[in-house]
Amino acid sequence: MLEPSIVRDEEIEYLIKDVYDLYGYDFSLYSRASFKRRVNRICLIDRFTSFAELRYTIINDPDYLKHFIEEITVNVTEMFRDPQFFKKLREEILPQLGTYPLIRIWVAGCSTGEEAYSMAILLKEANLYHKCLIYATDINPSVLETARSGVFPMNQMKIYSENYMLSGGKEDFSDYYTANYDSARFDKSLQEKLILSTHNLVSDSSFNSFQLIICRNVMIYFEKALQERVFNLFDASLENLGFLALGSKETIRFSNLDKFYHQIEDQKIWKKIDHN
């Protein structure tokens, strides 16, 4: 069922201001269309029948905010989503990264961690895992707990396994997890190089330099102005000749940084050209 239209446009603005003033989360440059849908969806899930009820709860119940952040952000993700993308990483990008003594990768907006685990598997199979670090960050602390647990729903494994094979995986995907009724617990070794931390792309700054930054289907929820800011953050966090990977329908074409990046064929992967 579609979410109802409970909250009006101007009320969205009040809500964004409240959340920023009280808690410091800045959603003012999030794409309005998606954000509004999420707010209306929260009203449906939490049974608020009016904007006033939602606003009252947000203002007066700091514990509710955690849930609000959880639901307002989209946490839909998969392992090896877009297998062709992972195939490209496997065949072209990782061999290039293999020349570095230490490979640092940032999965920005990692949600529950499926892409970070996918990367760990790729690096293992490329024999680069021993010399890599995977930083996976998200605005939302509760999704990071899921990522930390390494336990994912069993009913997803069929599609993940198909994705894995399409990405060029040669092993038996089920060797990477232990099945337990409705959940799949991934091998602890896949967490050894995983550093999970909260990071808000809107307000936090660069915290390291990387040779590969993966940020897929995160910036679709941002307005262009914020996208530009985040591109600058990535640019400042990426070594020369490092790679930036975006979602299959995202582009840096509209960005001022476009001229400093060289797209890898028809993939959503760009290589940084020497410029700072």
Contacts to another protein by CB under 8 A: 1-2, 5, 31-34, 37-38, 74, 76, 82-84, 217, 219-221, 223-224, 227, 247-251, 254
Q: How far is the CB of 241 from another protein (least distance, A)?
A: 26
SS3 76: coil
- Residue partners of 223: CB distance under 8 A and separation at least 6: 29, 30, 31, 32
202 or 241: CB nearest another protein: 202
What is residue 190's three-state secondary structure?
A: helix
- Reading the block at residue 17, the tokens are 């201001």
CB of 5 to another protein, least distance (A): 7
| Least gap, CB of 250 to another protein (angstroms) | 5
Shortest separation between residue 220's beta carbon and another protein, angstroms: 4
Choose among 225, 241, 77: nearest CA to 152: 77
Annotate 229-246 with DSSP letters as a single string: HHHHHHHHHEEEEEEEEE
Return the number of the residue (8 or 17) whose C-beta is nearest another protein. Answer: 8
Q: Which token pair is 163?
A: 């994705």
> For residue 223, how far is the Cα from the chain centroid?
17
- DSSP state, residue 263: E
Distance separating alpha carbons of residues 91 and 248, to the nearest angstrom: 18
Are the beta carbons of 221 and 211 closer than 8 angstroms? Answer: no
CB of 274 to another protein, least distance (A): 28
Pick 38 or 104: Cβ nearer another protein = 38
Judged by beta carbon, residue 125 or residue 250, the one nearer another protein is 250
Q: In the complex with another protein, which residue's Cβ is closer, 5 or 189?
A: 5
Q: For another protein, which is the closer residue by CB, 73 or 237?
A: 73
Smallest separation, CB 103 to another protein (Å): 27
